[in-house]
Structure 1
């Protein structure tokens, strides 16, 4: 049995394989953080919840001995542009 390779079919095969690899290799360009709200807890048990669509956030400082927590609300863009420390503002 003699096998011959036709250059047209060989080229067509390589182009088809390249097209398949190209189509499979495209990735969905979404953020690794899927969802509207992102929560972060640091080592001091301080909680920050950020609304990634509006920039609003709330911060819960570490729980005191009394068991009560005062939530601090803010908007990221306003806080960043005015350079206001919400922690100091809330304690006053």
Structure 2
């Protein structure tokens, strides 16, 4: 078996290898940006969900009636700046 390489074949192979390496080296940044965006903490009687990008949160304080949760929403930056908690209740549709 005689193996013969010419310059044209070597260049074509090198270009093909470079294109394949370049194609696999790009990263998908869409999923990395949203990873761990929402942080959830659950205690015995309370649920807190924090959006780490915007600083907005919703809190479900203790459940008073079975199956009915009173959601409270707010902004971490506003609460931090004023020192006052936002006690505005929201419906399930607004929390989405």
Give the TM-score range, shorter chain. 0.5 to 0.7
Q: Which residue of 2 aligns with 1:29?
A: 29
Number of equivalenced pairs: 84
TM-score normalised by L of structure 1: 0.57
Say if 1:43 and 1:3 are closer, same or farther in 2 by CA, change over 3 A.
same
Query: Residues of 1 paired with 2:27 and 2:35: CA distance?
Result: 15
Unaligned runs of 5+ in 1: none
Unaligned runs of 5+ in 2: 88-96
User: How many Å apart are 1:13 and its aligned residue?
Assistant: 0.5
The answer to whether the aligner puts 1:73 opposite 2:77 as a matched pair is no
Q: Which moved more, 1:17-26 or 1:51-60?
A: 51-60
Q: Secondary structure at the match of 2:29?
A: coil
RMSD: 3.5
Q: Secondary structure at the match of 2:77?
A: helix
Following superposition, the deviation at residue 70 of structure 1 comes to 4.2
